[in-house]
Structure 1
Amino acid sequence: MNSYGKAFRITTFGESHGAGIGVIIDGCPAGLTIDTDFIQQELNRRKPGQSRITTQRREKDEFQILSGVFEGKTQGTPIAMVIMNEDQRSHDYSHIAEQFRPSHADYTYQAKYGTRDYRGGGRSSARETAARVAAGAVAKLLLAQLGVKIEAYVSKVGKLALEKHYSELNIALAEENAVRCPDPETAQKMFDLIDATRKNGDSIGGIVTCVIKGTPVGWGEPVFDKLHAELGKAMLGINAVKGFEYGSGFEGASWYGSQHNDAFYTDEQGNVHTRTNYSGGIQGGISNGEDIYFNVAFKPVATIMQDQESIDLHGNVVTVTGKGRHDPCVVPRAVPIVESMAALVLADFYLRNRSARV
Structure 2
Amino acid sequence: MSTFGHSFRVTTYGESHCRSVGCIVDGVPPGLPLDESDIQPQMTRRRPGQSALTTPRNEKDRVEIQSGTEFGITLGTPIAMIVRNEDQRPKDYGGDTMDSYPRPSHADFTYLEKYGVKASSGGGRSSARETIGRVAAAGIAEKYLSLSHNVQIIAFVSSVGPIHLFPPTTQHPSPSTNPDFLSLISAITRSDVDAHLPVRCPSADASATMAKLIGQYRDAADSIGGTVTCVIRNCPIGLGEPCFDKLEASLAHAMLSIPATKGFEIGSGFAGCEVPGSQHNDPFVRSPTTGELVTSTNNSGGVQGGISNGAPIYFRVAFKPPATIGQAQKTAKFSGDEGSLEAKGRHDPCVVPRAVPIVEAMAALVVMDALLEQLGREGARRLLPVTKGVLPVRHSGTNADKKDVEKLKNGLENGSV
Whether TM-score is above 0.5 comes out as yes
- Which amino acid counterpart does residue 167 of structure 1 have in structure 2? S
Q: What does the per-residue CA deviation read over 1:267-316, in whole Å, with 9 as the maximum and x for residues that have no partner?
A: 23312210000000000000000000000000000011100122222211
Identity %: 53
In structure 2, the partner of 1:231 is 251
Partner of 2:135: 133
| Conserved? CA contact 2:98–2:343, under 8 Å | no
- Following superposition of structure 1 onto structure 2, how do residues 55-74 of structure 1 map, counting pairs within 5 Å? 55-74=55-74
Residues 127-166 of structure 1: matches in 2 within 5 Å?
127-145=129-147, 146-163=149-166, 164-166=180-182
Structure 1 stretches of 4+ with a deviation exceeding 3 A read: 168-172
Q: Distance in 2 between matches of 1:342 and 1:237?
A: 12
Q: How does 1:71-82 map to 2 (within 5 A)?
A: 71-82=71-82
Partner of 1:113: 115
Equivalent in the alignment of 1:175: 194
How many angstroms apart in 1 are the aligned matches of 2:53 and 2:182?
A: 25
Distance 2:211 2:150 in 1: 33
**Match of residue 359, structure 2, among 338, 349, 358:** 338
The residue number in structure 2 matching 1:321 is 342
* Contact 1:204–1:299 (8 Å) recurs in 2: yes
SS in 2 for 1:242: strand
- Contact 1:153–1:174, Cα closer than 8 Å, also in 2: yes
Q: How does 1:1-358 map to 2 (within 5 A)?
A: 1-94=1-94, 95-145=97-147, 146-163=149-166, 164-168=180-184, 170-171=188-189, 172-176=191-195, 177-268=197-288, 269-357=290-378, 358=381
1:118 to partner: Cα distance:
2.1
SS for the counterpart of 2:262 is: strand
CA–CA separation in structure 1 for the residues paired with 2:19 and 2:111: 21
Q: Find the aligned partners of 2:182 and 2:349 in 1 and give their Cα distance.
A: 26
Amino acid at match of 1:18: C
Q: Which amino acid in structure 1 is aligned with residue 352 of structure 2?
A: V
Q: CA deviation at 1:166?
A: 4.7
Identify if the C-alpha distance between structure 1 residues 275 and 148 changes in structure 2 by more than 3 Å, giving closer, same or farther: same
Q: Distance in 1 between matches of 2:36 and 2:286?
A: 41
Q: Which residue of 1 aligns with 2:394?
A: none
**Secondary structure of the corresponding residue to residue 278 of structure 2:** helix
SS of 1:180's equivalent in the other structure is coil
SS of 1:293's partner is strand
- Asked which structure has the greater RCO (Cα within 8 Å, sep 6+), the reply is 1
Q: What is the aligned length?
A: 358
**Can you list the C-alpha shifts for 1:122-148, whole angstroms capped at 9, x where unaligned?**
111110011111111111111101111
Residues of 1 paired with 2:122 and 2:162: CA distance? Answer: 29
Question: For 1:34 and 1:158, how far apart are their aligned partners in 2?
Answer: 39
Partner SS for 2:335:
coil
Return the TM-score normalized by structure 1.
0.98
> Mean alpha-carbon deviation: is it higher for 121-130 or for 202-211?
121-130
Q: Deviations over 1:210-258 (max 9, x none)?
A: 0010001100012000000000000000000000000010011122111
Q: Following TM superposition, by how much is the alpha carbon of 1:90 offset from its aligned partner in structure 2, in angstroms?
A: 1.1
The answer on whether the counterparts of 1:173 and 1:183 sit within 8 Å (CA) in structure 2 is no
Larger Rg: 2
- What is the CA–CA distance in structure 2 between the aligned matches of 1:2 and 1:115, rounded to whole Å? 18
Contact 1:300 1:329 in 2 (8 A): yes
Distance in 1 (CA, whole Å) between partners of 2:24 and 2:111 is 24
Deviates more, 1:262-271 or 1:147-156: 262-271
Q: CA deviation at 1:38?
A: 3.0
SS in 1 for 2:158: strand
What runs of 5+ residues in structure 2 fail to find an aligned partner? 167-179, 382-417
Aligned-partner Cα distance in 2 for 1:75–1:316: 57
Counterpart of 1:90, as a letter, is: P
Q: What is the CA-CA distance between 1:266 and the residue it aligns to?
A: 1.2
Q: Distance in 1 between matches of 2:344 and 2:201?
A: 29
How far apart, CA to CA, are the structure 2 residues paired with 1:328 and 1:27? Answer: 37
* RMSD after superposition: 1.1
Please list the CA deviations of residues 71-126 of structure 1 after superposition, one character each: whole Å capped at 9, or x if unmatched: 11110000000000010111110132221100000000011111100201111111
Quick one: distance in 2 between partners of 1:225 and 1:82? Answer: 30
Deviation at 1:168, TM superposition (A): 3.3
Q: Which runs of 5+ in 1 are unaligned?
A: none
* SS at structure 1 position matched to 2:377: coil
Within 2, Cα distance between the matches of 1:184 and 1:166? 18
What CA distance in whole angstroms lies between the structure 2 residues aligned with 1:183 and 1:262? Answer: 29
d(CA) in 1 for partners of 2:38, 2:211? 27
Structure-1 separation of matches of 2:55 and 2:238: 41
Alpha-carbon distance between aligned partners in 2 of 1:59 and 1:254, rounded to the nearest angstrom: 45
Cα distance per residue 1:133-181 (max 9 Å; x no partner): 1111111111101111000000100001101515236443211211011
Aligned residue type for 1:347: M
Q: Do the aligned partners of 2:284 and 2:296 also contact (CA within 8 Å) in 1?
A: yes
